[in-house]
Amino acid sequence: MVCGAGVGGLAAAHALGSLGLRVLIAEKQPRVPRVPKGEVLQPGALKILDEWGVTKLLERQGAVRLSALIAGEGSGEGRMSLDYTQLPDETNWLLSADHETILGALIDGLPENVSLRRGVSVREALRDDTGRITGLAVREAGSDREIRAPLVIAADGVSSKLRKSVGIGANRKDYPHRLVALDIPDVPGAEAAVAAYVTDRGLRMRYPLPGNRVRLYVQAEPDELRGMDHDGLQRWADALIAELPELAAFEGQLRSSLAGRQLLPVGRFVADGLFAPGMALIGEAAHSVHPMAAQGMNSAIYDANALRGCLAGRSLDASDVDSALREYQQRRMPELVQIGKISHNAARMLTDLSWVGRTLGRRALRNTGANQRLSFTVMHNLAGLGLHPLSTFDRLCQLGLLPDPRARRRPRWA
């Protein structure tokens, strides 16, 4: 039984359904939500989705292939370009689509042995005499009922009720800024890349979406737009365009999108554990990262695939399931910790507004972009094709404190 029909829950249902298991997804929301999150899929996640037939569904619905991730200063200096076409893999591109389109494709592609029920509110986990989780107590159509299952998947989001109910901690750390999300219409011919810019006021990130639209994220102070009237928003847009002149190419569309802006809090955490007997944590119930590095949704898909590998070939006896869950945690936890570090370092490089942070971040940006070995390693990590932690030597090279004799060569493992 899966609690939650977000990307994590639906990916878990696909993964477990592919093993021939009967899966029930319980989702509280009556319909697929429209939210500006989880819109860029990395090559590693696309390979998994392709096995489930989801990638083809997304492309038929207009998802946009992106070839690069670019980061640089708003002035155009200090550019780092990660060219995904250089990856030694058949899926050497990113894919962007609206979050609800991705959820819809995951739902449409569910195997016949998976069912999704909406309007089902999970009240609590059910336990046996040993404390092992054996199902969920739910409320549906005004009635309470109990549903028993040999495995429960907690995919109920950042504030997961199920995670809290088993006492698994999650020390969330909020970033001191927010992200203003704008959905900008009528921008044909937008560059097929995720482009992130660092300015004196922080991060600005954009990428194309289906239907000739552009998603723009703007770093802002928590109360920066509070109470701002129409004229104030227009002055805010003036300052935004002045610091990033390329936005002038679709200035009118940008200004028209201001009324529909959304302000998003951002934080990070990795849960203290990924399972309790009878239950596994997936997706945002288990971890959260800054969206700048495009890792959150992709990591949820990797979670589901890892759990599938641990359960494959096992019975549904309690001892077998719990042994698989221990293996899942042992395999996945180090990867999540490393992904968290990668995402935090990438976010800090572009969002830290202190003098020291801006100086070090821009220096790291320039030196990583000029170093083929380091930029390929960073791209490979972000793409989800393997984790290769940066060493102390690599960090010193990023800051320009040591020369790198291998800067013009790809890593030996590539």
- What lies within 8 Å, CB to CB, of 393 at 6+ separation is 402
Statement to judge: residues 279 and 298 lie in one domain: yes
What pLDDT, in 10s, does the model give residues 351-404?
999 999 889 988 999 999 999 999 999 999 999 999 999 999 999 999 999 999
Statement to judge: residues 45 and 110 lie in one domain: yes
Instruction: Note whether residue 224 is domain-resident.
Output: yes
Statement to judge: residues 38 and 147 lie in one domain: yes
Statement to judge: residues 209 and 146 lie in one domain: no
Give the domain-ending residue among 248, 266, 284: 266
Instruction: Note whether residue 140 is domain-resident.
Output: yes
Statement to judge: residues 287 and 191 lie in one domain: no
**CA 274 remoteness from chain centre:** 18
pLDDT at 332 over 70: yes
Statement to judge: residues 394 and 375 lie in one domain: yes
Q: What is the share, in percent, of the chain residues with pLDDT greater than 70?
A: 99
Statement to judge: residues 227 and 288 lie in one domain: no
User: Which domain, by its residues, includes 181?
Assistant: 175-266
Q: How confident is the model at residue 78 (pLDDT cuts 50, 70, 90)?
A: low
Statement to judge: residues 152 and 283 lie in one domain: yes
Instruction: Note whether residue 211 is domain-resident.
Output: yes
Q: How confident is the model at residue 71 (pLDDT cuts 50, 70, 90)?
A: very high
Look up the CATH number of the domain holding residue 157: 3.50.50.60
Look up the CATH number of the domain holding residue 235: 3.30.9.10
As a whole number of angstroms, the distance between CA 111 and CA 106 comes to: 10
Statement to judge: residues 235 and 217 lie in one domain: yes
296 token code pair: 């959150």
Instruction: Give the 3-state secondary structure of residue 343.
Output: helix
pLDDT at 324 over 80: yes
Instruction: Note whether residue 404 is domain-resident.
Output: no
Cα separation of the two ends of the chain: 40
What pLDDT, in 10s, does the model give residues 245-289?
999 999 999 999 999 999 999 999 999 999 999 999 999 999 999
- 343 class by beta-carbon count within 10 Å (0-12 exposed, 13-18 middle, 19+ buried): buried
Statement to judge: residues 115 and 164 lie in one domain: yes
pTM of this prediction? 0.95
Mean pLDDT of the chain: 94
